[in-house]
Structure 1
Amino acid sequence: MSEALQTWSWFVRHPGHRLWDPTAGCGVMACCPNPPELRWILDVVVTVLPPQDARTLHKQIAALDELW
């Protein structure tokens, strides 16, 4: 989970994130992340966390989503 959150944070803050092309890249999350896959992972994690932890993570993700 922390790797997915760190990668999502890095990705949305990276100046070239808007140039993402689903047909390009190596497929390695740390190098060429797939945004829909990252968000899916984070959404799954939110659903299995205890309610308070889920709310905290959801707020973090929502703030990052604003950058996307």
Structure 2
Amino acid sequence: MRAIAYLERTRLWSHAVTDALRTWSWFVDDPWHRLWDPTSGCGVMECCPNPPELRWILDVAVAVLPPKDARTLRKQIAVLDEQW
């Protein structure tokens, strides 16, 4: 996971990928949040997440990971995406 640590240190913030994965999971599990409206909400990831931003973080993480780790993360994301 050095690639993620480097990505977070140089481009994102500490624990950005973990936060994005946890928040995406929470978001798709909550039926009220499926009705995301970009004009409302507080903008705090843990409260009113922006789905495109979460997916961007996860997609970037997949892109920088070694192939085996990228496949594992893609599978986790795919399970969540099916709920969306």
- Structure 1: gaps of 5 or more residues: none
Identity %: 78
The alignment yields a C-alpha RMSD, in angstroms, of 0.6
1:47 is matched with: 63
> How many Å apart are 1:11 and its aligned residue?
0.1
- TM-score normalised by L of structure 2: 0.78
Q: Which runs of 4+ in 1 moved over 4 A?
A: none
Q: Distance in 2 between matches of 1:17 and 1:50?
A: 32
- TM-score normalised by L of structure 1: 0.96
Is 2:29 aligned against 1:8? no
For the pair shown, which has the larger CA radius of gyration, 1 or 2?
2
2:79 is matched with: 63
User: Which structure exhibits the higher relative contact order, with contacts defined as CA atoms closer than 8 Å and separated by 6 or more residues?
Assistant: 1
Kindly provide the amino acid, as one letter, of the partner of residue 71 in structure 2.
Answer: R
2:43 is matched with: 27
Q: Distance in 1 between matches of 2:73 and 2:34?
A: 24
Say how many residue pairs are matched: 68
Greater fraction of residues in helix: 2
Check the 8 A contact 2:27/2:34 in 1, yes or no: no
Kindly provide the amino acid, as one letter, of the partner of residue 6 in structure 1.
Answer: R
Kindly provide the amino acid, as one letter, of the partner of residue 30 in structure 1.
Answer: E
